[in-house]
Amino acid sequence: MDERYRLIESLDAEYVLQTFNRLPVAFVRGEGTCLWDTAGREYLDLVSGLGVTVLGHCHPAVTEAVCGQAARLVHTTNLYYVEPQARLARLLVKNSFPGRCFFANSGAEANEGALKLARKYHYLKGRPRGKVVCLEGAFHGRTLATLSATGQPAKREPFKPVMPGFEHVPLEDPGALRDAVDDETAAVMLELIQGESGVRPVSAEVVEAAREACDRTGALLIIDEVQTGLGRTGKLFAFQHYGVIPDVMTLAKGIANGVPTAAFIVATQYADALSPGDHGSTFGGGFLACSAALATVQTVIDDGLPEKAGTLGGMLLERLRSMTEGVGLVKGVRGRGLMLAVQLERDVSWQAVKGCLERGVLVNNVTPDAVRLLPPLIVEEEELVRGAQVLVDVLEGLDE
Active-site residue set: 139, 224, 253
Residues paired with residue 104 on neighbouring β-strands, in sequence order = 262
Query: How many C-beta atoms lie closer than 10 Å to residue 331's C-beta?
Result: 15
Q: 20 or 81: whose CB is closer to ligand PLP?
A: 20
* Residues of this chain, 67-86, that bind ligand PLP according to CB under 6 A: none
Number of residues that bind ligand PLP (CB under 6 A): 14
Q: 57 or 372: whose CB is closer to ligand PLP?
A: 372
Among 195, 198, 313, 335, binds ligand PLP (CB under 6 A): 195
When asked if residue 224 is in the footprint of ligand PLP (CB under 6 A), the reply is yes
- Site mask for ligand PLP (CB under 6 A), range 235-264, x = bound: -----------------x------------
Q: 110 or 169: whose CB is closer to ligand PLP?
A: 110
CB of 330 to ligand PLP, least distance (A): 24
When asked if residue 226 is in the footprint of ligand PLP (CB under 6 A), the reply is yes
* Residues of this chain, 130-169, that bind ligand PLP according to CB under 6 A: 139-141
Q: 44 or 226: whose CB is closer to ligand PLP?
A: 226
When asked if residue 373 is in the footprint of ligand PLP (CB under 6 A), the reply is no
CB of 392 to ligand PLP, least distance (A): 26
CB of 230 to ligand PLP, least distance (A): 13
* Residues of this chain, 104-123, that bind ligand PLP according to CB under 6 A: 106-108, 111
Q: 371 or 390: whose CB is closer to ligand PLP?
A: 371
CB of 143 to ligand PLP, least distance (A): 8
Chain residues in the site for ligand PLP (CB under 6 A): 106-108, 111, 139-141, 191, 195-196, 224, 226-227, 252
